[in-house]
Structure 1
Amino acid sequence: MLDDPAGRHARDAARFTALVESASARDWSRPSPVPAWTALDVVKHLIEWPRDFLKGAGVELDPLDIDTDPAAAWKRHVADVQAIVDDPAGRVLSNPNTGDKPVDEAIDQFYTVDIWAHSWDLAKALGRVPDLGEERCRAAVEAMAPIERILRDSGQFGPAVPVAADASAQDRFAAFIGRDPAWRPEG
Structure 2
Amino acid sequence: MIADRYRARADAFEAKVSNVPEDQWDNPSPCAKWTAREVVDHVIDMHGVMLGVAIPRTGDLLADFREARRQVQQALASGRATREVSTPVGAMTLAEHVDRVVSDDLVLHGWDLARATGQDETIPAEDVQRLWATATAVPPELMQRLRTPGAFGPGIEVYGPEVPVPEDASPQDRLLGYVGRDPMSKSS
Distance 1:146 1:100 in 2: 18
CA-to-partner distance for each residue in 1:13-44, whole Å, 9 max, x for gaps?
Answer: 00000000001222211110011000011111
2:103 is the alignment partner of 1:112: yes
Q: Aligned pairs, how many?
A: 177
Distance 1:45 1:184 in 2: 23
Number of the residue aligned with 1:144 = 135
> Aligned-residue CA RMSD in angstroms?
2.0
Number of the residue aligned with 2:72 = 81
Q: Which runs of 5+ in 2 are unaligned?
A: 149-157
CA-to-partner distance for each residue in 1:101-148, whole Å, 9 max, x for gaps?
Answer: 322222112211111111110110111231112343244324322426
TM-score by length of 1: 0.84
**Structure 1 residue identity aligned to 2:57:** L
TM-score by length of 2: 0.84
C-alpha deviation, 1:62, in angstroms:
4.5
Number of the residue aligned with 2:22 = 25
Q: From 60, 70, 77, give the equivalent of 2:61.
A: 70
Q: Give me the identity figure in percent.
A: 28
**Structure 1 residue identity aligned to 2:163:** V
* Distance change (3 Å), C-alpha of 1:90 and 1:84: closer
Distance 1:20 1:33 in 2: 16
Q: From 2, 6, 11, give the equivalent of 2:3.
A: 6
**Structure 2 residue identity aligned to 1:152:** Q
* Distance change (3 Å), C-alpha of 1:165 and 1:21: same
Equivalent positions of 1:32-43 (< 5 A) are 32-43=29-40
Distance 1:147 1:101 in 2: 16
